[in-house]
């Protein structure tokens, strides 16, 4: 078990204060968006091995069986299959979706065959993996997730009182769900600039007026103000608003359009860079591929709360790339023993946590984290809160891409 030295990623949407406040540092004026913990090659954490620090991906590559354990190695190969982050959104992130395993495999193969460099800005698939993710709020957290049912979407659009939206309202009210969502969403990807401007003005008015949609329109208004003139505003209006209280979570599977708007959260995801964007960004947008990947359905959004499993509180996720749980310890209380079946990263989010393992002992405070390889049991004591990221190794068979 070793403390991690992690990288802070600076993106324009990041908060200038939330991450520094979280870790107890002085802001430097830069937007600090994400604190990465893991072995992703774009910004791997570092651990002290031997005389100095080494990137965690290199440590795992040198002895994957020892670091990952046989079960994780069989199922995911010689890599850590998840990436853990602290996300600090001061402005909305891009409106995006992620592919499933089969879509990622095909898209990666097609772009490779076309000779598109992996680092090309117009590339959509950086790898052949899916990118399910989960976010758990550390404070008030707001976002957009999944489609509104077509009648609700029509009611919201009609309340804006923009005449040019009337045909889309009729489509949403009269066509079957999948067809209605696909038709309107497709049209909203490339709307005329004058429609975007009229809708932004109407959203701003609605956010200031009493009415049943005022709270939601206030969130959409934040999106419009962050990205003036961006066509993504219209697509965003089709998505449900989600507000999480501290400790509540959200799982985002393949094909679900979403955008985080503001707040501080723990985020965990499969280790992939595959993102298809449709707005609220200057980055590459692949309209045809996006429409192939988006799932045009409007199931309810399920806000997650953890359930007790022994000494942990586990957040349910229908994937095996990661397992996220919360461990809370109190001064004078018993130490919590964590199993050693897979590699794990432990992140302190509140108070102080003392970790003991075969590699020694260390103390974590908010924003600090530690890595333990498979086979090393860790106990947690102290007075604080720790989020634990590991791998679900419950299935006996290696994981494969569907259809391969």
Q: Annotated catalytic sites, by residue?
A: 277
Q: Closest Cα partner for 372 from 394, 391, 385?
A: 391
d(CA 38, CA 267): 12
What does the DSSP assignment read for 47-91? EEETTEEEEHHHHHHH-HHHHH-HHHHHHH-SS--EEEEEEEESS
Q: Is 382 exposed, middle or buried (0-12, 13-18, 19+ CB in 10 A)?
A: buried
Residues 6+ apart with CB under 8 A from 121: 283, 284
Q: CA-CA distance, 147 to 387, in Å (whole number)?
A: 30
Backbone dihedral region for residue 219 (phi beyond 0: left; psi -120 to 50: alpha; all else: beta):
alpha
Q: How many CB atoms lie within 10 A of CB 395?
A: 10
The SS3 call for residue 141 is strand
């Amino acid at each position: 078990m070793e403390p991690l030295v992690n990288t802070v990623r600076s993106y324009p949407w990041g908060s200038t204060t939330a991450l520094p406040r979280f870790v107890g540092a002085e802001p430097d004026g830069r937007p600090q968006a994400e604190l990465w913990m893991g072995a992703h090659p774009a910004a791997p954490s570092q651990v002290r091995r031997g005389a100095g620090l080494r990137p965690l991906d290199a440590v795992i590559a040198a002895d994957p069986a020892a670091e990952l354990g046989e079960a994780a190695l069989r199922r995911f190969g010689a890599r850590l299959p998840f990436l853990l982050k602290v996300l600090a959104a001061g402005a909305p992130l891009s409106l995006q979706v992620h592919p499933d395993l089969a879509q990622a495999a095909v898209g990666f193969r097609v772009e490779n065959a076309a000779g598109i460099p992996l680092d090309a800005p117009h590339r959509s698939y950086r790898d052949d993996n899916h990118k399910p993710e989960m976010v758990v709020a550390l404070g008030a957290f707001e976002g957009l997730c999944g489609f509104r049912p077509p009648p609700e979407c029509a009611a919201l659009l009609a309340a804006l009182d923009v005449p040019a939206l009337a045909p889309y309202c009729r489509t949403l009210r009269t066509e079957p769900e999948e067809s209605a969502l696909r038709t309107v969403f497709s049209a909203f990807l490339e709307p005329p600039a004058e429609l975007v401007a009229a809708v932004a003005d109407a959203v701003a008015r609605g956010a200031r007026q009493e009415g049943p949609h005022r709270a939601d329109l206030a969130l959409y208004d934040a999106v419009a103000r962050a990205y003036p003139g961006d066509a993504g505003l219209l697509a965003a209006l089709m998505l449900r608003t989600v507000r999480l209280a501290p400790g509540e979570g959200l799982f985002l599977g393949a094909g679900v359009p979403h955008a985080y708007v503001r707040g501080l959260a723990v985020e965990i995801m499969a280790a992939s860079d595959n993102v298809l964007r449709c707005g609220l960004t200057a980055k590459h947008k692949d309209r045809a591929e996006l429409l192939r990947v988006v799932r045009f359905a409007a199931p309810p959004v399920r806000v997650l709360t953890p359930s007790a499993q022994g000494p942990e509180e586990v957040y349910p996720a229908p994937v095996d790339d990661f397992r996220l749980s919360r461990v809370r310890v109190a001064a004078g209380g018993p130490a919590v023993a964590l199993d050693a079946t897979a590699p794990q990263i432990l992140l302190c989010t509140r108070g102080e946590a003392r970790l003991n393992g075969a590699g020694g002992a260390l103390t974590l405070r908010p924003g600090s984290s530690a890595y333990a390889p498979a086979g090393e049991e860790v106990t947690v004591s102290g007075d604080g809160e720790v989020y634990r990221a590991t791998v679900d190794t419950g299935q006996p068979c290696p994981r494969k891409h569907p259809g391969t």
